[in-house]
């Protein structure tokens, strides 16, 4: 066999190996991140066991980072922003509060969610849609003792209700808890 044929066979072998590795990576539900921080996520074949998953870090009052590097957006609720974003300014404008006040409220919501969930193994429950437009997992989250995290955050007064059809399984529960928190001046409503 000539050196040229051998090089061609090695090149084809490496190309096939690379394609197989890429396909395996894409089907594992992994992230690709650019140098500028933009994340691409391929959720094809995301069959991770979400019945007992570790919350690695709480990102903000309604977003978690799991041990498998997936972000979870808590369904049915919305907490004030604490990070610089268009939503921070939108929240301030809509509420008539200053950006600093919204940030402070966002920090309080973050702290309660962190206290309740960070470092704990949780169970995720899904509704009709499993991902949002940012490819975050949309979920209802249950703590190790069976407590319903999404509901607790609303009940303690650190979130408002935010439901988008078709993900409305607990909309009535969240609305009731929200009203009770406001009436009893809990959390952010003090």
CB of 138 within 8 A of CB of 129? yes
Q: Contact at 8 Å (CB) between 161 and 174?
A: yes
| SS3 of the chain: helix, strand, coil, percent, to 5 | 40, 25, 35
Q: CB–CB of 29/136 below 8 Å? A: no
The single residue listed with the structure tokens 């408002």 is 160
User: Distances from the Cα of 43 to the Cαs of 65, 73, 102, 137, 140, in angstroms?
Assistant: 16, 15, 33, 10, 19
Residues that are catalytic: 73, 81, 136
């Amino acid at each position: 066999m000539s050196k040229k044929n051998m090089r061609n066979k090695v090149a084809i072998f490496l190309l096939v190996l690379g394609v197989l590795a890429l396909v395996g990576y894409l089907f594992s539900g992994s992230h690709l991140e650019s140098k500028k921080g933009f994340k691409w996520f391929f959720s094809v074949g995301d069959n991770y066991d979400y019945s007992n998953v570790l919350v690695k870090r709480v990102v903000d009052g309604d977003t978690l980072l799991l041990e498998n590097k997936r972000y979870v957006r808590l369904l049915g609720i919305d907490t004030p922003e604490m990070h610089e974003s268009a939503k921070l300014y939108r929240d301030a404008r809509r509420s008539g509060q200053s950006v600093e006040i919204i940030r402070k409220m966002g920090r309080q919501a973050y702290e309660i969610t962190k206290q309740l969930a960070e470092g704990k193994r949780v169970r995720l429950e899904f509704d009709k849609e499993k991902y949002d437009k940012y490819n975050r997992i949309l979920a209802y989250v249950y703590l190790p003792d069976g407590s319903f995290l999404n509901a607790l955050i609303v009940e303690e007064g650190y979130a408002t209700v935010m439901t988008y059809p078709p993900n409305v399984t607990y909309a009535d529960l969240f609305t009731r808890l929200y009203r009770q928190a406001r009436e009893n001046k809990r959390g952010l409503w003090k």
